[in-house]
Each structure stands twice: as structure tokens, then as C-alpha cells.
Amino acid sequence: MSVRSLCMRDAHEDEDSHAGSGSEKDIMSGSEVQEEDQQQSDDDGGGSGSCGLDSGDEDEGDTGGGSSDEGADLGALDEGTAGGSGSKSSLGYRVITAGSIKRLQQGAIDEVCAIWGCGGSIAKALLMSYMWDKERLMSDLGDKGQERVFKAAGLAVGLSAAAASTSTAAVTQTGGVMTCTVCMSAHPAAQCASNSCGHAFCCDCWQGHLAVQISEGKARHVVCMSYKCGVVCDEELVDRVIQDEPQLLAKYRQSHLESYLEDNPRVAFCPSTPWCGNAIQVESDPYVEPECPCGVSFCFKCRKEPHSPCTCKMWEMWEEKVSGDSETRNWLQANTKPCPKCSKPVEKNGGCNLVVCKCGQDEMDARMTEAARNHKRYMFYFERFKNHADSIQKEKANRAKLLARIAASEHDGVHARDFSWLVGAVDQLRTARRVLCNSYAFAYFFFGGALFAEDFTPQQNKINQDLFEDNQEMLAAEVERLSGLADRAAEGLSLDADQRFTTINSSTNVRTRCANLFSMIEADLLAKVSTLGAHIAVPRF
């Protein structure tokens, strides 16, 4: 089991052991803690389901006209914000906490049940088979028909009665006694159980079979033990057979709960270390760079750090290029030549093409010029990338100092003014700095490499590069201006109205410059390439 799975399991076991005591707060955001506390005080039952997996979710069906705290919780979920700003529709993603997983999972199950009129266990099995892709499931049910979809998912529902009756009989019934064909022992009918496929065995054999399947990590697809049957075991059957094995039942339910996160292509765990307990769910477009409430941002598509305006492929190539000693090798290849006598690298530094080794060997070399030009071009972009990357780290530290200074001034009663404009300017500066930093990696690959060489003529490529660099330079100039203004305003927590207005105006200009740069990249560059995967995440400025 993964570390995240263990964290989730421990969280739910803790919920069960305290039955509504609010232990879920440890892995919840602050707003959800307040909502959970209010919900616990208003709920009549307050009890949890088996193994802690249902705790806090008994009222999950009450989505309309219910308690105000539940409505607030669902509203917070739908907003999916990473700091209280924006909405689900504008951000394109939502934050999933450990306390909301079951509610979201149940919502998907209820939607399938409402449309197709099937039971909850069948709807869950279908969704798990389709990796929780409701749209694809609905489409296949309409196009392929219920029987084909159910059969592919390992469900007996939809199979003809004739097929079920002609299947190999697993039980021979005589009066009120059943003979289990696994252990070949007679058992009272009450001590036997049958699956939806029609195969029945004694509960002891079922229990042994389920224990093996669940222990081997097959809890999400436990199948009937009849030879070549392959039908998924009903949840009702599993609950009945292993109800006296709480740990086994908890593992079974926990695995089904985790499938909503681990098998769902629209859900990703927050990559924070240690894991904060949150996950991110996107609406449809995977090319987004969500920010978790814990402060960590990442590219949802490739699960790496935010890298827009670079594509995921560009960023992968850039990371490979700047990591390790690859550029050291490139420099040696560009600026040195192995001596044909002693094989040691000899640097050519100015002068004519005569290269002389200290061992006395000389040679003519004119083949290093192309590699040297390529390396010089790389260093041009890398140095600017590195400078802005270093500035990002400094501004991150400056932001923490600013927040501490504001908190101290409010505590001392020195200032009663709102400094959200200054914090907003610092946040805007950090976002723009990251965009500017990554834009140099984008330019390195787009305008000089072979990645998009076939999409533009050299003349058009030069026009595109000039247009891109104009937007890039305007953004860089405004970023440096905002950086200076923010530093001066933060130094003494200035209350000067003119300085406040100038800083806000510069922050707005930076936002506009960022939007213009992305608009140019999308409309004039990426929209005209034929390369697959040339998609980027566009931040919400």
C-alpha cells in the first residue's frame, strides 16, 4: 500500500475511533474544520459507519434544503479554490480533502443510478471499470447497450436468464440443506450465500476466497470463485460474508474508496512532501496548473512543477538538459578537442585554428564552431532562466517576511490598514516571475531546436521570435518595476496613497503583460504547429 493510502486509512480509522470528535481536522483545511465542527454539533446521530469509512457522510444525500453547514461544505467543494479566490468554473479544478472523497464518490454513483435505475453497488462497479469516467460510461451504455457494458465490467446483471440457468451448478440443494461443491460438505441454506451470477457456496469457502483476493490486492475486482465465471462479487455478498472480519472488511471498503483517487485520470494527489492529505480533480482539461491549499502548485498533466508557457515535452527536455553534467560534456565538446597523441582535451581559446597540446602535438581544427555556437545559445537562455529562478526563491522569502511584518504591526496596533493590495502585488510578482523564467526555456526550444522546425520557414520563425521577444521584454521590464515598488512598499509598510496606487497600477500592468504573452503564444505560435502535444496550461491572471 502506498504512503498516501496509509495516510488516508489512518485518517479514516481515526475518524471511526472518535465517532464525530473532529479528528478529521488534522487533514482538513481551516474552513472545512469549522464546517465539520458545526455539522457534528447539528447532526443527531453523529455515528460512523463500519470501519470509519462512512463517518461524517450519513447526510450526504441531503444536498438541497438540508443544514446550512452541509450546504457550505458542498459549496466550498464546488469552488475548488486554492486560497479562497475564484470558482470551479474559472479555475478548472477543485480541491478534494480526505473528508470529501466519499461524498464526491457517492455523488458520481447516485448520478449513474438516477439515469439508469440500477443499484448502488452495480453503479460503483461500472464506474470503477470505467475509471470513474461518467461520460464515457454513459456513452458506451447508449452506444453498445447495457448487456455488453455490464458483461465487460464483470457484472451478471443484463445476462439472459437462460445463460444463468445453464451455467455450471455450484450448489445442489436438498430440502433446507446445501452441498457446497468446493468443500463438498452439506450446510444449512442459511449458512450459504450466492452471487448475482447464480453460483452459491458455503460462507466459510466464500470467506476464505475473499480473504485471499483482498489480501493479494484484488479488492477492487473480487470475482466469483466458480471456474471461469469472472463475475464480480456483489458488495452485499462481501459485507455479509466477512462482517465478522472487521479488518478485512475495512481493507475492502478502503480500497474501493481509494479507487476514486488512484484510478481516476481526472484526479491527482498533491505532490507535497510530506503529503498534505489533499488531491486535485480537474473538470475536463488536464492542461492546468492547480495550487493546493497547502501552497504547492504543479502541472496536472505531467505532475511536475508549473512550467507554462513550456509544453510538458519542452519541460522534460529542459530538465534533462540542465541536470547532471550534460552541459559540462557539451562545453567540452564545443571548446576542446582530444589530442590525437595523448587523448587529453585541449581548449581552443582565440587565435587561429592551430591547436597545440602540452605534449607537443598540434592539429588544425575548424569543426568546433557549430557546437560552440549551440552552447553559447544555450547559455544565453539558461543564465536568464537561472537569474529569474533565483529571484523567485528570494521573493518567496520576502513574502513570508512581509506577512510576518504585517501580523506584527496589527498585533502591536501600529497599523489598522488593509495591506491586501501589497500582498496581492507580491503574489502577482511571483506568478509573473515564474512565467518569465519558464519563457526562456520555451524560447530555447521553439525558435532554435528541431522540435518545431518543420512548422515554420526560417523567415517566419524569425518574425515569430521577434514578436515573442518584444512581449517577453515588455513583461520583464514591468516585472522589475513592480519588484522595486513592492520592495519599497514592504520595507516600511508604507501607507502613502501615491505609492499604493503606483504599486497596484504596476501589478495590473504585469497581469496584462502576462496575458498578452500567453495570448501571443497560443494564437501566433502553438495554434500553427502540427506537433501533437503542443498544449500549455494558461494561468488565471
Length of the chain equals 541
Catalytic residue among 192, 312, 352, 514: 352
d(CA 156, CA 207): 21
Q: Name the one residue in this structure whose C-alpha cell is 464525530.
A: 20
CB 491 within 8 A of CB 485: no
Q: What is the three-state SS of 247-298?
A: HHHHHHHHHHHHHHHHCCCCEEECCCCCCCCCEEEECCCCCCCCECCCCCEC
DSSP 417: S
Q: What is the CA radius of gyration of the chain?
A: 31
End-to-end CA gap in the chain: 39
Segment holding 96, helix H or strand E: strand 93-96
The grid cell for 46 is 453523529
Contacts of 145 (CB under 8 A, 6+ apart): none
CB 523 within 8 A of CB 497: no
CB 56 within 8 A of CB 99: yes
Residue 352 known to be catalytic = yes
H helical segments located in 56-169: 68-79, 88-91, 101-116, 120-129, 134-143, 146-152, 161-166
CB 500 within 8 A of CB 421: yes
* CA distances to 22, 83, 97, 380, 496 from 28, in Å: 10, 14, 6, 45, 39
Taking phi over 0 as left and psi of -120 to 50 as alpha, with beta for the rest, 350 belongs to left
Segment holding 404, helix H or strand E: helix 369-412
Q: Percent helix, strand, coil in the chain (nearest 5)?
A: 55, 10, 35
Instruction: Give me the active site residues, please.
Output: 352
